[in-house]
Chain A
């Protein structure tokens, strides 16, 4: 009886913890974002939150200020673009003559295109891998080495990003200039249909997770891609959505999630978009045939900064604790020497007392 009471108590506690998330558990919910006047800015499959950012196709930047979960709508207000910060982040140059490498994976390994794959979710032969393969081939045609991991991270659940994190870390060990997570969206097809150079293709949405220490760099990278795409192929990059979550993007400043079309669009259109996107990536990462702006150089510095902050904070916390425990800096230092001596047999901090 007591055992049952324990089970009930534990499950209740878990449910209380999960409650906020369970209330929002509707993966297919499509939210519509409007401005104050009610003009529709965009839609996305998934909840929107106050504080999310949105950079529209015309480069106007918005921030979500209100969300109505019942109506599945959100309202955004225009915000001024921080051009100076963007320019500073984009100013880093890639080392000339280095290898060109882009790594890719697909966290949602089941994502498919209904018109061609027959289902929006397939555990075997998912359509998203056809699109990723086409992007890899298009990059290689431009002389860029591309690695596309066919690892799967099923099921398509809350743990998918935890599972794909290992692959993302493995790919980062190869030292890529960009790490791309290839997805497709789940909004109506017309949101993504476009024509570029007379060809019917799918638009591409760039998705940035704002809950990570690299968010500013991820966002700058996304803006670089959009700027280049707008110049080369207007309409190719649909927009940039800056949402809650980290999407493994805290691992790398040049990590980005790309949505190639939606589940309702013909896969051929998403595949057709890859060649254009490869050219945009080439332009941004390596200067393409014209110029060099931004690049892998931007990807290294913030990592060391993050580690420095972490170690600094840990040391500060330890010093505060030591002071509180001993009452004086001298006492804290003495205690540290004593403990270090005990733990290292006198190697550090003097010989321990017998």
Chain B
């Protein structure tokens, strides 16, 4: 079982027990939707890759479902400015992941830890810095890694090599899952801390009910 599937299973269990509620609220996802996406990503990861051209195919769990989730979250963004910020964050994340791949040593032993985690952390950090929201962070983390994979393949194709690109397949599955989850986690941790500093002991002013944020009435 890969690290990506393990992380998704753990996330699913935490959602089942009610943890991560606030993160899901801010992603505008209900528990059921979150569990459905997690189940689809895991199950889709086991399905055969879908060939588009002889040189390009994609994995359902590692690419298609995360992409659908990204589109769903992007469409649900509050303003055009947030949508633009999400795309910009994805582009910057893609550029950073691509650059890191070129700079890192060739051999796994020369890296302090698995390169998948490094990409996940880098994508998470950039997604968090640029996205400024859980939604933006998730989109930047997952879409950014996919863009970097495409850019890397394009570079190889440009040099005349016949090489397959399988978006989200095998190792790519882990990177995309780790990036998306980590971006949201970083956003959640830092966001919560910042919010708690600003809000102090006062209760949150907004709550998430029936798919919408509603202003809570002040307690007297």
| B155 / chain A contacts, CB cutoff of 8 Å | 155
| B166 / chain A contacts, CB cutoff of 8 Å | 166
- Taking the complex as formed, is A91 at the interface, i.e. its CB lies under 8 A from any CB of chain B? no
Main secondary structure of the interface of A (DSSP, over half): helix
Bound CA–CA A237/B159 (angstroms): 36
Bound CA–CA A9/B112 (angstroms): 22
| A158 / chain B contacts, CB cutoff of 8 Å | 100-101, 104-106, 108, 111, 115
Tell whether, in the assembled complex, residue B125 and residue A10 are in contact, meaning their CB atoms are under 8 Å apart. Answer: yes
Tell whether, in the assembled complex, residue A49 and residue B175 are in contact, meaning their CB atoms are under 8 Å apart. Answer: no
- Identify which of residues 282-341 in chain A touch chain B, using a CB-to-CB cut-off of 8 Å: 306-307, 310, 314, 317-318, 321-322, 325, 335-336, 339-340
- Identify which of residues 113-170 in chain A touch chain B, using a CB-to-CB cut-off of 8 Å: 123-124, 151-163, 165-166, 168-169
Distance in Å: Cβ of A31 to nearest Cβ of chain B: 11
- Taking the complex as formed, is B10 at the interface, i.e. its CB lies under 8 A from any CB of chain A? yes
Number of residues from B at the complex interface, CB < 8 A? 53
If the complex has contacts A152-B161, A159-B152, A162-B116, are A10 and B92 also in contact, measured as CB distance less than 8 A?
yes
Tell whether, in the assembled complex, residue A162 and residue B6 are in contact, meaning their CB atoms are under 8 Å apart. Answer: no
Bound CA–CA A9/B161 (angstroms): 36
- Taking the complex as formed, is B109 at the interface, i.e. its CB lies under 8 A from any CB of chain A? yes
- Taking the complex as formed, is A25 at the interface, i.e. its CB lies under 8 A from any CB of chain B? yes
Bound CA–CA A103/B185 (angstroms): 39
- Taking the complex as formed, is B29 at the interface, i.e. its CB lies under 8 A from any CB of chain A? no
- Taking the complex as formed, is A50 at the interface, i.e. its CB lies under 8 A from any CB of chain B? no
Tell whether, in the assembled complex, residue A165 and residue B121 are in contact, meaning their CB atoms are under 8 Å apart. Answer: no
Most buried by B among A46, A166, A246: A166
Number of residues from A at the complex interface, CB < 8 A? 62
If the complex has contacts A25-B110, A209-B108, are A10 and B96 also in contact, measured as CB distance less than 8 A?
yes
Tell whether, in the assembled complex, residue B159 and residue A157 are in contact, meaning their CB atoms are under 8 Å apart. Answer: no
Q: Choose the segment among A13-21, A92-100, A192-200, A219-227 that binds chain B (4+ C-beta atoms closer than 8 Å).
A: A13-21
If the complex has contacts A162-B115, A166-B169, A343-B16, are A14 and B126 also in contact, measured as CB distance less than 8 A?
yes
Q: Name which residue of chain A comes closest to B152, CB basis.
A: A159
| A124 / chain B contacts, CB cutoff of 8 Å | 160-161
If the complex has contacts A9-B129, A124-B160, A325-B18, are A343 and B112 also in contact, measured as CB distance less than 8 A?
no
Tell whether, in the assembled complex, residue A157 and residue B104 are in contact, meaning their CB atoms are under 8 Å apart. Answer: yes
Tell whether, in the assembled complex, residue A14 and residue B122 are in contact, meaning their CB atoms are under 8 Å apart. Answer: yes
Tell whether, in the assembled complex, residue B100 and residue A18 are in contact, meaning their CB atoms are under 8 Å apart. Answer: yes
Interface string of B2-42 (1 = CB under 8 A from A): 00001001100110111100000000000110010000000
If the complex has contacts A159-B115, A245-B108, are A339 and B169 also in contact, measured as CB distance less than 8 A?
no
| A18 / chain B contacts, CB cutoff of 8 Å | 100, 103-104, 118, 122
In the assembled complex, 24 residue pairs joining A and B whose CB atoms fall closer than 8 Å, in A order, are A9-B129, A10-B126, A10-B129, A14-B122, A17-B125, A21-B112, A22-B103, A22-B104, A25-B103, A27-B106, A27-B110, A108-B106, A123-B156, A123-B159, A157-B106, A158-B100, A159-B115, A166-B169, A166-B171, A168-B170, A325-B18, A339-B17, A340-B16, A343-B35
Known: A124-B160, A158-B105. 13 other contacts (CB 8 A): A9-B129, A13-B126, A18-B104, A24-B105, A25-B104, A47-B110, A152-B162, A154-B156, A154-B163, A158-B108, A209-B109, A245-B111, A317-B10
Chain B interface residues toward A at CB < 8 A: 1, 6, 9-10, 13-14, 16-19, 31-32, 35, 92, 96, 100-112, 114-116, 118, 121-122, 125-126, 129-130, 152, 155-156, 159-164, 166, 169-172, 175
